[in-house]
Amino acid sequence: MIILGIETSCDETAVALLEHDGEKPRLLADLVASQVDLHARFGGVVPELASREHVRTLPPLVDQAMAEAGVRWSEIGRVAVTAGPGLMGALLVGVSYARGAAAVNGVPLVPIHHLEAHLLAPGLAEEGLPPFPFICLLVSGGHTMLVRVDGLGRYRVLGQTVDDAAGECFDKCARLLGCGYPGGPQIARMAQDGDASRFALPRPMLKRGLDFSFSGLKTAVMYAMKDGDFDMSERQCRLDMAAAIEAAIGDVLSIKAVRAARQQGVRHLVLAGGVAANRYLRERLHALAQSSGIRLVVPDLRHCTDNAAMVAHAAWLRCQARMRFPSAWDARARWELEHLERMQD
């Protein structure tokens, strides 16, 4: 059976075709049309523009995926679409298209939770998903949370951000440094040539529990940049600040993720979401986990940021486990991971 995956929850239009024969899923197509250039000049995602761009991009992207993979509609067994959480208008484009295409072609349609798709994404990599239970550090532009995963659909949030998400903090700090959008990858690029020790940035809430707070870090960056001791017009100074920001965010995330695994007595850790593409975070968490006897599993880089392969993959896992999908549902801007089966308010 081939699953068509569709993702339009934010600013990437994505389409994937996933085939599974036996144990391992195989990607026949995995396309992402990024809207980064469109939103860059506004310094962030403009929801209305995102929706319009999805309308324009999604139908030809599906055609392209089918053509490249040489797949016909008669071979598709399921259409899987991100139903939430995300930008309402953007979600509605994907859901409406998927609903229409599924109905016309007589294929069952399955709604997928965006965060569940992210946290199961390592299953697409060679190594595969670790055994349950595992702890997932889920870090994206809109979410930062530590989740205990006891099985498919069995998620317990152990801690989360009380204000900004880690990706949001990267993006806001990048704006202070005068970089474009999205800021995370830009800060990561600059940090490669920077010296993190030049700025002593705080590690917010490091000692306290499993929740996170990142809005104070952005303020600390702002004050450090105003400090007369540094000339922020100097390129090296900005590179050093980028490295300090990356280290502050990466340290807090890594220390708390390993703390969560130790507290729960769980030996497997998954790092997922857009910020999981950050190399410092991957390396720091890997080293910390290893020294605690915990195995870290991370998705391939292209499956950390938003994509449709993870949507088709989550649908495949749910089908394989013979889990039921709701018959009546709508796109949902807000949708708690812990109440995943509750599709309607």
Whether residue 108 has a cis bond before it, omega within 30° of 0? no
Which of 121, 81, 120 is CA-nearest to residue 103?
A: 81
Beta-strand relationship, 76-84 and 144-151 = unpaired
| 105 vs 85: CA distance, rounded Å | 26
Instruction: Please pick, from the candidates 7, 116, 171, 240, the single residue that binds ligand KG4 as defined by CB under 6 A.
Output: 171
- In the complex, the residues that contact Zn ion under the rule CB under 5 A are 140, 306
Among Zn ion, ligand KG4, none, residue 111 binds (CB under 5-8 Å by kind):
none
Residue whose CB is less far from ligand KG4, 35 or 305? 305
Helices and strands, number each (H, E), in the chain: 10, 10
Residue whose CB is less far from ligand KG4, 84 or 185? 185
Contact in structure between 102 and 108 (CB atoms under 8 Å): yes
CB of residue 185 vs ligand KG4: minimum separation in angstroms? 4
Contact between 212 and ligand KG4 by CB under 6 A: the answer reads no
Contact between 254 and ligand KG4 by CB under 6 A: the answer reads no
* Other Cβ atoms closer than 10 A to 295: 15
* Other Cβ atoms closer than 10 A to 65: 22
Residue whose CB is less far from ligand KG4, 19 or 171? 171
Quote the crossing angle between the two packed helices 235-264 and 183-191, to the nearest 10°: 110
Contact between 182 and ligand KG4 by CB under 6 A: the answer reads yes
Residue whose CB is less far from ligand KG4, 2 or 13? 13
For 322, residues 6+ apart whose C-beta sits below 8 A from its C-beta are none
Instruction: Please pick, from the candidates 25, 94, 141, 159, the single residue that binds ligand KG4 as defined by CB under 6 A.
Output: 141
Q: Which residues pair with 20 in a beta bridge?
A: 25
Instruction: Please pick, from the candidates 130, 185, 194, 299, the single residue that binds ligand KG4 as defined by CB under 6 A.
Output: 185
SS3 (DSSP) at 284: helix
Per CB under 6 A, the segment of 124-132, 135-143, 151-159, 197-205 that binds ligand KG4 is 135-143
Query: DSSP assignment of 289-314, as one string?
Result: HHHTT-EEE---GGGTSS-SHHHHHH
Contact between 184 and ligand KG4 by CB under 6 A: the answer reads yes
Contact between 305 and ligand KG4 by CB under 6 A: the answer reads yes
Per CB under 6 A, the segment of 42-50, 59-67, 196-204, 275-283 that binds ligand KG4 is 275-283
Instruction: Please pick, from the candidates 242, 306, 309, 315, the single residue that binds ligand KG4 as defined by CB under 6 A.
Output: 306
CB of residue 87 vs ligand KG4: minimum separation in angstroms? 10
| Chain positions contacting ligand KG4, by CB under 6 A | 10, 140-142, 167, 170-171, 182-185, 188, 273-275, 277-278, 305-306
